[in-house]
Each structure stands twice: as C-alpha cells, then as structure tokens.
Amino acid sequence: MKQALALAVVEEDCMKGATEPKLNKYQELYELLTYKPKKKVEVILPNGKRELFWCTTHEKKQALKESIRFVASVEKREGKTVFWRFTTENIYRFGQDHVTLQNKNLIKQAFSKVKDFFYEEIYED
C-alpha cells in the first residue's frame, strides 16, 4: 500500500514538472481555424471490399502522388484495376494510369489550345 502511494506521489511530481508551455488564446484560435485534416483515400477492390488509406499530408498534389503509389501497390497485389477516390470528393477514379497532374494555369491552357488550333490549320492543307 505504501509503495503504491509512493508511486502515485512520484507520478504527480513528474506530471507537474513536464507541463507544456501555454499558448495564448489567439494562438489556440488560429490553430483551430487553420487546421486541415489529412486526406483520406477510399479504394474499392474487385471483390467489393473497401480499403482506406490516410495520406501524410493535407495538400492535394502531395496527397494525389501518395494515393497513386498506394493504388499502384493495391493493383499489383490484386492483379486487377481498382476504383478509388478521396473521401471528400464524389468523383471516382479508375486505376492509377488515368490520373494526370495538371500544373498549368488557366492562361497557359488557353494559350496552348489557341496555338494547337492554328498549328493544325496551317499544316492540314
């Protein structure tokens, strides 16, 4: 009994000394408002079962790269292509080969379409 009481006292002393520095109320509010959960991927296997994969980041591009690697490994394991999506989206993707990362902005896309249009017209004749 005395040993258990002594251990409890030691634990309390350790807990008192190891307190984290307090954040002021504005820092706590800022962290609460700017919190973004990590992306989660749902994979539907050919037999109908579902697997979940949590990415290590909340950024879309990095999460997409991680999820493509995960889907590739699942496809290799299953031997068939799978359906998958981010849980925050309603769009399902089919396999890992059909996903492309678009780094172009809207102006570059418009310029390339105009260039392709005129380039095809010149060389069709």
For 75, the token pair is 């496809």
> 51 pLDDT exceeds 80?
yes
* Highest mean pLDDT out of 44-53, 97-106, 108-117: 44-53
Would you state the pLDDT for residue 9? 47
- The answer to whether the CB of 74 falls within 8 A of the CB of 82 is yes
Residue 51: strand pairing partners: 43
DSSP class of 73: H
> 70, 75, 28, 31: which is closest to 52 by C-alpha?
70
pTM for the full model? 0.55
Dump pLDDT digits (tens) for 11-22: 555 555 555 556
- The answer to whether the CB of 81 falls within 8 A of the CB of 87 is no
| Neighbour count for residue 71 (Cβ, 10 Å) | 23
